[in-house]
């Protein structure tokens, strides 16, 4: 095929994909090419703009290392991560909604007993977190693995700090026989996502802020139920309606309550979706 022009090049590329053996890969590649070409036509992409895009993606890759995943941050800030979560976690009413995983989960966090302090030295106002893990019929789920992680009062996760050699603000607990759990921690505060790379440049160029509303991350696993990846967001936070990564769902917003004795408590009950039985 020669002498391709702006009117027939899309068909030529699609024809080149026609023999892709994996049908799902063929579908994805075909759609990607169609949408990419349509995008370039719609905005009448110039060669200088094309090069700027290439440089942006190159810089995004260069910013990635073991601690930093700039491409996920890009996906998050473009709403692609949350779109993918929403499309793949359409749960029955009553189940706890899912939201973005984020880049700060760590496999193998310390294990704690009920009542322990997962802050483990993280700065912040002390609080107690109490809740339950149940199924959709209200049945308590015993022994669920509850993985929790959060930023400290300055908005830093332990893995972002170079001065720490131990886990802070994260831990793994198991629900009791009645499905309940409780632990000590610090009150979640809003924080900016890392914005010292190309994604930060993109946010500034589009007049966007990098802030996430205060939240506590949870990943809850139990046999027979779908794994739940979610947050509990702090009611009243100034960024609830402008989360930099579009992750807020009203059903996940809760109050950290100041009690008469001066302590602060958060109560939140999780409802897991049963795994569909294959017939
Ligand atoms: C987080 O909540 O930890 C997070 C999510 C997406 C991007 C950056 C941080
Ligand atoms: Fe977070």
pLDDT in tens, 45-83: 999 999 999 999 999 999 999 888 999 999 999 999 999
- State whether the beta carbon of 100 lies less than 6 angstroms from ligand 1: yes
Q: How confident is the model at residue 259 (pLDDT cuts 50, 70, 90)?
A: very high
- State whether the beta carbon of 245 lies less than 6 angstroms from ligand 1: yes
The length of the chain, given as a count of residues: 279
29-52: pLDDT as tens digits: 999 999 999 999 999 999 999 999
Ligand nearest to the CA of 73: 1
- State whether the beta carbon of 248 lies less than 6 angstroms from ligand 1: no
Give the residue whose CA is nearest to atom 3 of ligand 1: 102
State both tokens at 257. 């309550």
Ligand nearest to the CA of 100: 1
Which of 197, 192, 156 has the alpha carbon at shortest distance from 71?
Answer: 197
What does the CA dihedral 173, 179, 185, 189 come to, rounded to 10 degrees? Answer: 110
Q: What percent of the chain has pLDDT over 90?
A: 95
Ligand nearest to the CA of 151: 2
Give the residue whose CA is nearest to atom 1 of ligand 1: 102
Q: How far is the CA of 189 from the centre of ligand 2 (A)?
A: 10
Res 147 pLDDT > 90: yes
């Amino acid at each position: 095929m020669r002498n391709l022009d702006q009117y027939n090049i899309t068909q030529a590329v699609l024809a080149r994909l026609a023999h892709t053996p994996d049908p799902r890969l063929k579908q994805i590649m075909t759609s990607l090419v169609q949408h990419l070409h349509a995008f370039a036509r719609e905005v009448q992409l110039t060669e200088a703009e094309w090069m700027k895009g290439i440089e942006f993606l190159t810089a995004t890759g260069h910013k990635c290392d073991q601690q930093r995943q700039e491409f996920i941050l890009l996906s998050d800030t473009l709403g692609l991560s949350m779109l993918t979560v929403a499309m793949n976690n359409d749960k029955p009413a009553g189940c706890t909604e899912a939201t973005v995983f984020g880049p700060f989960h760590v496999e193998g966090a310390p294990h704690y007993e009920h009542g322990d302090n997962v802050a483990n030295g993280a700065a912040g106002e002390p609080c107690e977190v109490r809740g339950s893990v149940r199924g959709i019929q209200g049945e308590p789920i015993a022994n669920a693995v509850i993985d929790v992680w959060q930023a400290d009062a300055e908005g830093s996760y332990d893995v972002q700090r170079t001065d720490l050699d131990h886990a802070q603000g994260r831990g793994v607990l198991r629900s009791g026989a009645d499905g309940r759990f409780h632990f000590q921690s610090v009150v979640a505060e809003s924080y900016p996502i890392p914005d010292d790379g190309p994604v930060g440049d993109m946010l500034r160029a589009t007049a966007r802020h990098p802030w996430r509303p205060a939240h506590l991350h949870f990943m809850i696993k139990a046999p027979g139920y779908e794994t739940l990846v979610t947050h509990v967001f702090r009611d009243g936070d100034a960024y609830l309606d402008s989360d930099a990564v579009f992750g807020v769902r009203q059903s996940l917003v809760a109050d950290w309550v100041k009690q008469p004795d001066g302590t602060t408590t958060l109560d939140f009950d999780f409802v897991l979706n049963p795994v569909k039985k294959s017939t």
